[in-house]
Structure 1
């Protein structure tokens, strides 16, 4: 499992990269971080009445959402799906729920067309040790 600091560091450094894979823990820790940042920015910049401050806040929030979108694409890659699956959110009523379910699926346990598994699963972990 990826720790929160590693997940946030990976998310930030890979903001403009749609290649590769992101584990479930990496994705969800980064989602929590991004929501906290967006709420903080919205709260901070809503206090200003000038158009410049609102513009800076809006651009900052858009950058955070772009970063979150790239993490979502890498998470879809981890499940073996194309990033185009993110467009499923455009389906009325069920799209957002369906995308949420896709984000919670386990990773493919082997290398796929998007890269190697970030944290390989030990195939012998479920077997009892020999006596």
Structure 2
């Protein structure tokens, strides 16, 4: 594109330039949308790039205005809501003046007129695809992003925790931020660092680290974490429940049943665990034990006897137990 704005460009050249630059800005917008929660610096960079592209397009606006016999001051209308739609439509669809006007001769469509925008478009689109391709795949597949992120809230929390390493509330806020942004390894490291340097035990941090290990499918680490908690707090039913859920994921039903039994010994009136225990015994092909657990559950919560699903399961368990029992 010529550096001057006192000449004209044809309708065809303007349409080509507009389509390519709009495509670039749309691509940048997609990149920002996919990465805004995690890559703030890239968002800022590409927002600035979008502004640069708009400024780069202004000479096209002015010279196209000249082609239809209008002053370049029309370009200011592109910044006015609603008016910009009309101006864009005029510049895109109105044919240029067929003869020379005060702004110059009628332009000739030449390939060199659009060489620079075309090259810029291709280079930027390739760069955007390379930068955002992996992020888009992660969103489609639900995988864990590997690169470190640039979250200002996380940076602020990290700074506060560095000043006061044993601030439980800040540590909790930060570990929740890590979990939300799928930085599970960071969550695990934070919990370990906090509890190795601070005397206080924060159960919420332990749960977040345990959950992060599960999300990473690092079941050995999750098992180690929960074993340590049970060793440290042998009378806390929640930890046995957590380990029972872990054993369910590993399809180790006998171990899951043993932990659920321990939960009920420590907390006989807990609501959800009896049903988990019933499922474990059924998968172990022990319908009589499943029936007994189900009965105790009904005795603890008599209102359940009015539930149709509960009654149907009770009948099914009774039938299975009778069928499997020796005559």
With the length of structure 1 as denominator, give the TM-score of the two structures.
Answer: 0.67
Match of 2:41 in 1: 52
Alpha-carbon offset, residue 75 of structure 1: 0.5
Say which of 17, 23, 28 aligns to 1:41. 28
Which of structures 1 and 2 has the bigger CA Rg?
A: 2
The answer to which structure has the higher helix fraction is 2
If asked which structure has higher relative contact order (CA below 8 Å, sep 6+), I would say: 1
Q: CA RMSD in A?
A: 2.4
Equivalences for residues 6-85 of structure 1 within 5 A: 13-14=1-2, 17-48=4-35, 49-85=38-74
**1:63 and 1:91, CA in 2 relative to 1: closer, same or farther beyond 3 A?**
closer
Match of 1:118 in 2: 107
Q: What is the distance in 2 between the residues matched to 1:22 and 1:86?
A: 14
Q: What is the distance in 2 between the residues matched to 1:77 and 1:26?
A: 14
8 Å contact kept, 1:109–1:117: yes
Say which of 82, 94, 100 aligns to 2:88. 100
For structure 1, the 5+ residue unaligned runs are 1-12, 121-131
Q: What is the distance in 2 between the residues matched to 1:85 and 1:29?
A: 20
8 Å contact kept, 2:8–2:66: yes
Q: What is the distance in 2 between the residues matched to 1:91 and 1:55?
A: 24
Q: What is the distance in 2 between the residues matched to 1:62 and 1:68?
A: 10
8 Å contact kept, 2:78–2:88: no
Alpha-carbon offset, residue 53 of structure 1: 0.7
Q: What is the distance in 2 between the residues matched to 1:90 and 1:39?
A: 18
**1:50 and 1:98, CA in 2 relative to 1: closer, same or farther beyond 3 A?**
closer
State the aligned residue count: 106
Match of 2:203 in 1: none
For structure 2, the 5+ residue unaligned runs are 110-327
Alpha-carbon offset, residue 119 of structure 1: 2.2
**1:38 and 1:101, CA in 2 relative to 1: closer, same or farther beyond 3 A?**
closer
With the length of structure 2 as denominator, give the TM-score of the two structures.
Answer: 0.29
